[in-house]
Amino acid sequence: MLSITGITVTYGKSPVLREVSLEVRREEAVAILGRNGVGKTTLLRTIMGLHPVIEGHIVFQDFDVTTAPAYRRARLGMAYVPQGRGIFPYLTVEENLKVAFAALYGRSSRANERLLDYAFELFPALYEIRDRKGGNLSGGQQQQLAIARALVTAPRLLLLDEPTEGLQPSIVQQIREALSRIRYESKIGILIVEQRLDFAWIFADRYYVMHKGQIVDSGFTRDRDPGEIEAMLGV
């Protein structure tokens, strides 16, 4: 579904990603691991079309999207939940979800309503606070809203940047359950940047480890002890 071959990305003249190749297959959850500053966020932004590629190719749903703008990738079924969540602070929860529809076209309002209902079913707490402004929500509620907003676009691939960062364990658990449900019910692929190895090991089928802009290790989580990865990351 997503196939990246040898991409190089720079900030100015300094390379931030160097010949990165990775794959997310249909209905697969894949974790990207690595210490701060190794290029994980840049990788997700590049996949979403928010940062240009100097070399290499990105193929999504059989289309070469290497130079495609972000809106085109969104229409092909990519959705991105950025670190820091990126919700609109002055819009209500419901408005935040509804503006996501505007990014897409050709869908009936009934289909939109169904997706909205599904988002509220996955995150019932959001329904309770649907009239509250995004900026007045707790960190956990904002994260749930950010995921829900990506979901109402009915994506085929969800890109998540550290969705559990700074959240308490009970909220992390709720988010994990919702993501697992989304994965199996909507049959989508998920590419997740995650610092918590325990979360990554429960949730992901495969992993990639990044170091200084390169992939230095990869494999199936079931074949690998997270302790070995922890030692590799030096955490």
Q: Does the protein bind ligand ATP through residue 82 (CB under 6 A)?
A: no
Supply the minimum distance, in Å, between the C-beta of residue 75 and ligand ATP: 25
d(CA 144, CA 160) in angstroms, rounded, equals: 12
- Classify the C-alpha dihedral 37-88-172-23 as positive or negative: negative
Q: Which of 2, 16, 97, 100 binds ligand ATP (CB under 6 A)?
A: 16
* Residue 53 · residue 5 · CB < 8 Å: no
How many residues form the binding site for ligand ATP (CB under 6 A)?
A: 10
The H or E element that residue 55 is part of is strand 55-60
Q: Does the protein bind ligand ATP through residue 109 (CB under 6 A)?
A: no
In whole angstroms, how far apart are CA 12 and each of 50, 55, 191, 192, 198? 15, 15, 26, 26, 36
The H or E element that residue 14 is part of is strand 14-24
Indicate the residue among 42 and 153 with the shorter CB distance to ligand ATP: 42
d(CA 165, CA 140) in angstroms, rounded, equals: 9
Indicate the residue among 37 and 86 with the shorter CB distance to ligand ATP: 37
Q: Does the protein bind ligand ATP through residue 41 (CB under 6 A)?
A: yes
Supply the minimum distance, in Å, between the C-beta of residue 27 and ligand ATP: 25
Q: Does the protein bind ligand ATP through residue 20 (CB under 6 A)?
A: no
* Residue 178 · residue 148 · CB < 8 Å: no
Q: Does the protein bind ligand ATP through residue 164 (CB under 6 A)?
A: no
User: Which of these segments, 37-45, 92-100, 151-159, 170-178, binds ligand ATP (CB under 6 A)?
Assistant: 37-45
Q: Does the protein bind ligand ATP through residue 40 (CB under 6 A)?
A: yes
Residues forming the site for ligand ATP (CB under 6 A): 11, 16, 34, 36-42
